[in-house]
Amino acid sequence: MKTPNRKQGKTIPKMKHKRLNRDLGWGFQYYPYYQMRIDDDLFHGLACLIKLTDGEENYWHTPKSGRVQVTGAGMSWLELIPDNTERVITVLFFPDGTHDSERKNYPAVANEKYQPSLWYVDIIDGIEYDEYGIAIFIDKYLDVIFTPEGDVKIDDRDELDNAYNSGELSKEQYDSAVTEGDKILAELCSDIKKTAEWSAAVRQLVEDRIANGEPVKLCRETAEMAK
C-alpha cells in the first residue's frame, strides 16, 4: 500500500478510545459482560464476551452475504486481543445453534452451536483500563471486515490516511497499521472456515470459564443500575 503525501496544518480528532463493553451507540441496554485473560494453546490474550439480552435488530449489507445481522437479542459478541498483535477481533455470533435463514450462501457450519454472522477487526494502538478495570482500546482507524460467505473489506483507509496527513499519526504508527492489516488478511481471511473453527473453539473456552464461575465484570453502567 502506498503511503500518502504528508501535509501539515490540518487538524482532525485524536484517535478514539473505545471501551470493550461497548457501552455507547448500539441500541441495547443491559447485557452481561465478561472480561478475562486466557492462556491456552488456542489463544493467549484478553477475551471479552457480551451477551445481548435486548435491543433492536440491526443489519449491514454485503455483496455475498446480503443482510448481515450485527445486533439483536440472543446474539453474542466475542472480543479478542491476542498477545503481540495490534488488533481487536470481534466475532458477532448468532443466537446459539442458529444462523439467519436469509443467508442463502451461508457455508457448512464449522460449529453447530457457535455460528458467526460477521468478523470485525479493529486495528489498534494499544489498550488501557478504566477505573473499573474495563479494557479500552485506542482505535487506529483501519478495520478489516469479513463474513463466512467470503466478503472481505478493508474499511476506513481514508481515515487512516487523513490521520497521517494531518500529523496525528507518525510514519511508524501509519506503517504498523498497514502491516497489521496485511497480517489480518493473511492470518484470518485466507481461510475463513479455519477462522470460524478457531473462533468457536475460543468461544467455548470462554463459556467454560463462565460455567465454572467467572463473574460478570463490574462496569460503570452496572454499578449505576445497582444504586
Measured over the CA atoms of residue 207, residue 91, residue 139 and residue 39, the dihedral's sign is positive
The pLDDT score that the predictor gives to residue 26 is 65
Q: For residue 5, is it within any domain?
A: no
Q: For residue 2, is it within any domain?
A: no
User: Do 140 and 159 form a contact (C-beta atoms < 8 A)?
Assistant: no
Query: How confident is the model over 43-62, as a mean pLDDT?
Result: 93
> Cβ contacts of residue 172 below 8 Å, gap of 6+?
none
Q: For residue 55, is it within any domain?
A: yes
Domain of 200: which CATH number? 2.40.380
Compute the chain's Rg from CA coordinates: 18
Q: For residue 51, is it within any domain?
A: yes
Query: How confident is the model over 75-101, as a mean pLDDT?
Result: 97
Pairing of strands 17-19, 33-39: unpaired
The band of 24, judged by pLDDT with boundaries at 50, 70 and 90, is low
pLDDT at 153 over 50: yes
pLDDT at 50 over 80: yes
The band of 29, judged by pLDDT with boundaries at 50, 70 and 90, is low
The band of 9, judged by pLDDT with boundaries at 50, 70 and 90, is very low
The band of 31, judged by pLDDT with boundaries at 50, 70 and 90, is confident
User: Do 116 and 95 form a contact (C-beta atoms < 8 A)?
Assistant: no
pLDDT at 150 over 70: yes
Element (H, E) at 195: helix 192-211
Adjacent-strand bridge partners of 116: 93
pLDDT at 179 over 70: yes
Q: For residue 227, is it within any domain?
A: no
Query: How confident is the model over 28-37, as a mean pLDDT?
Result: 84
Q: For residue 1, is it within any domain?
A: no
The pLDDT score that the predictor gives to residue 8 is 47
Which amino acid appears at position 1 of this protein?
Answer: M
Q: For residue 48, is it within any domain?
A: yes
DSSP, collapsed to helix, strand or coil, labels residue 68 as: strand
Which residue range is the domain that position 201 belongs to? 17-222
How many domains does the chain divide into?
1
The pLDDT score that the predictor gives to residue 158 is 87
The pLDDT score that the predictor gives to residue 223 is 75
Query: How confident is the model over 16-22, as a mean pLDDT?
Result: 88
Query: How confident is the model over 104-127, as a mean pLDDT?
Result: 96
Query: How confident is the model over 57-72, as a mean pLDDT?
Result: 95
What cell numbers appear for 10 in the block?
Answer: 490540518
The pLDDT score that the predictor gives to residue 1 is 45
What cell numbers appear for 193 in the block?
Answer: 472456515
pLDDT at 185 over 90: yes
The band of 220, judged by pLDDT with boundaries at 50, 70 and 90, is confident
| Of residues 164 and 1, more confidently modeled | 164
Q: For residue 143, is it within any domain?
A: yes
**Helix 157-165 crosses helix 171-184 at what angle (to 10 degrees)?**
170
